[in-house]
Chains A and B, each alone.
Chain A
Amino acid sequence: MTLGERLAATVALCALLALILSVVACESRDTKEASAGAQPFSTFAIGPQPGPDRGLPRAENPYANDKTVLADGRRLFNWYNCSGCHGDHAGGGMGPSLRDSLWRYGGDAPSIFASINEGRQFGMPAWGTKIPRDQIWRVVTYIQSLRTPDEPDPPR
């Protein structure tokens, strides 16, 4: 490496560092100020949404009202050991029942998706780290069918 090349490399490195620093600085300023109207990070809300309803986009279940995925949702519910915690037919055990009408973190499809995806406080794993989104939606669809006439393989 010649002297000129070394100089060029040093200059390039400095420029890169400066760029990184400025980006970091900008980001920290952004998160500090969170100006009104900025696009928020989360579109899943478990807690109450602060401020007036801003009409945020909501994740939609691609299988809403699609009965053809229910059996597969049930299969996945067993295969990923959801049944081990929540019961063979989701009546509860180690984890809470999903058959009742009580939802700690919301019972609509996006909320159930979020709970599966992110995990929850008392040991619910963050399944988004393992299961493809499409499969999570199938499980969500199965869970929403519990105690309806559409429930596949109901308890007997």
Chain B
Amino acid sequence: MTGTEMTEMKRSNDERRWSRAATGVVLVATILAGCGKSQTTQERSADTTAEARAALAASHRDSVTTSLAPAPGVGQVGLIPAGSDLGQKPGEWTMAARDYAASRFSPLNDINVSNVAQLKVASTFSTGVLHGHEGQPLVVGSTMYVVTPWPDLLYAIDLTKPGGALKWMFGPNADPRSVGIACCDVVNRGATFADGKVIYNTLDDHTIAVDANSGKATWNTKVGEIAIGETMTMAPLVVGNKVFVGNSGAELGVRGWLAALDLGSGKILWKAYSTGSDSDVKIGADFKPFYASDRGKDLGLHTWTGEQWKLGGGSVWGWLSYDPELKLLYYATANPGVWNPDMRPGDNKWSMTIFARDPETGNAKWAYQITPHDAWDYDGVNENILIDQPMNGQMRKILFHADRNGFAYTLDRATGEVLSAAPFVITNWAKGIDLKTGRPIEDPAKRTHEGIVVRDICPSSTGGKDQQPAAFSPRTGLVYIPAHNVCMNYEGVEANYIAGTPYVGASVKMYPGPGGYRGELLAWDPVHQRKVCSVLEDMPLWSGVLATGGDLVFYGTMDGWFKAIDARTCTEKWKMKVASGIVGAPIAYRGPDGKEYIAIYAGIGGWMGAVADPNVSLDDPYTALGVAGAVPDLKQKSAEAGILYVFTL
């Protein structure tokens, strides 16, 4: 069967499945009819094929109209795939991105465009910890769960008490030596909730399940080893009876992996490595990558020189997503080990790769290498947002990925085919992505080498965006991307592998990109791959984004402004200066009092935010892997803190 035939077959299967399952397609019709005001994702009625077909046709007509004369702030209407929120109440937030689709969309709309100007602080809570507060709290029932950066404390806050009262605190006694092993501040991107347990990772490589009521550990499993440079910073995801976690440390020559743990016992069931033999990578007979260059035996060995794959990076420190209908788990792997590309000739698979795996067996179903033979540290871990949206008259199961390399990708998430790709920030290392091969069309002058300073590469290693997650609103069909405008000079240098120490191999100096802005919040149409509107920001955006049913988009800046904009026009509707720079991701929830709340951490840190750390000097622009040159003014604009802010009307 040719690739095309296979795709066609999968497409028609998808269509059948789509028609059968299309719970929520009614939503499309509802929005088109102009009465999709609120609680929309709640209203799922029994579907008929006819309704679904009508909706598809209507969507197509709408898309044509939109492309001819785009209405302000409206892309293709889209859906969060059915079943993604695991049936949680609209006012809850039980996993990192709220749902399996990684949408970061809350259907709540009490706080909306017309009243957000009255938003004010309801309560604050000090975590007692400095450093970068990435990630987000969870709200399950009437309890909020907050994870701090190292020492990785977990707080449970009783929301039924006025102002919120501490219910319990769990301290994992995380090894302080892990602080010096973590590449990019001692961050933690949060917990997930399942089966009465709050589950999260610690910097010293433990995955811990804490009983949500008692605050006592149910199980505590050591899954990695700081002595070989492994740390853990990512938020786990639970599918069925399995907990999925991955390691950090591609700057220390680790070998990346995704592990599945048993939800009940914490036992490690399997690890799927990002480099090495097919059996180590869990590639078997059912592996069907879309592109020829991702096909072949043991590419995780043969696309490296010698045994460099053992130090090959490809860590799994980003966000996970899951399609309950296709039963596929999605994540992307980090940069290859050692930033000096001349030390590792070859494509360096499976670094920089989006994987689709069967969560039960761990077997890879497809893989797509985004940036073969990376030469810029365009680490590929950014979130994969799962959207059902019409493209060219056909409802497609899309995976949207805005990469560090500056390109926004829309893939068919059943097959791994790249449907479209376009730069979403100033990007000069490649002219585009060849959709026939899936590979970037590089500018050879921007490919870096050992001993040569290659100048003016855009974007910088920190990327068009880093891990800070975008949000998707099914009401507008748009993705809201927190972006950077930073460029760099890059020189590969010889690196010496010493286990447990940095294995970087590059001198990088970053500086602001052209245009007089360093950050941008983009409202992006993933179907047409174009910007609908945006807000230019002075500082690069290191915060995640929240989209709500009130047609608001919330995000924060590294100099401490927390903002709400109109999801359709990008017009600023509200802002407040908080105590420290924002690198976390906002959430919306409904309190036990019935009111809608918005929560965000203030706590500068993370890779770029590390410049605010009193322990870094600014007379060296290479400081903190080169970010000091991009934000030399950060120290003046934000001091460290660790504060949870909660807002309401």
Interface residues of A (CB under 8 A from B): 78-81, 83-85, 87-97, 99-100, 102, 121-125, 130, 147, 155
Contacts and interface: CB of A to CB of B under 8 A. Distances in A.
21 contacts: A78-B493, A81-B496, A84-B251, A84-B504, A85-B502, A91-B620, A91-B622, A91-B628, A93-B624, A94-B183, A97-B615, A97-B617, A97-B623, A99-B620, A100-B615, A122-B180, A123-B178, A123-B180, A123-B181, A123-B226, A147-B619
A88 B614 CA distance: 18
A99 B565 CA distance: 42
Interface in B167-217: 176-184
Contacts of A80: 496, 498, 501
A97 B177 CA distance: 17
Contacts of B625: 93
Contact of A100 (B181, B182, B500, B617): B617
A138 B347 CA distance: 39
Contact of B177 (A83, A85, A102, A121): A121
A91 B635 CA distance: 14
A98 to B, nearest CB: 8
Interface on chain A toward B: helix, strand, loop, or mixed SS? loop
Given A92-B617, A97-B616, A122 B496 contact: no
Instruction: Please report whether the interface of chain B is mostly helix, strand, loop or mixed according to DSSP.
Output: loop
B502 A92 contact: no
A91 B501 contact: no
B268 interface: no
Contacts of B619: 91, 99, 147, 155
A18 B327 CA distance: 70
A95 B184 CA distance: 10
Contacts of A124: 180
A93 B626 CA distance: 9
Contacts of A99: 617, 619-620
B525 interface: no
A54 B181 CA distance: 38
Contacts of B324: none
A80 B621 CA distance: 21
A123 B623 contact: no
A92 B179 contact: no
A151 B504 CA distance: 23
Contacts of B230: none
Nearest to A121: B176
The 9 closest A-B pairs by CB, nearest first: A123-B180, A84-B502, A91-B620, A91-B623, A88-B622, A92-B616, A96-B615, A93-B624, A97-B617
Contacts of A88: 507, 620, 622-623
B503 interface: yes
Given A84-B504, A122-B180, A123-B178, A90 B498 contact: no
B28 interface: no
A81 B498 contact: yes
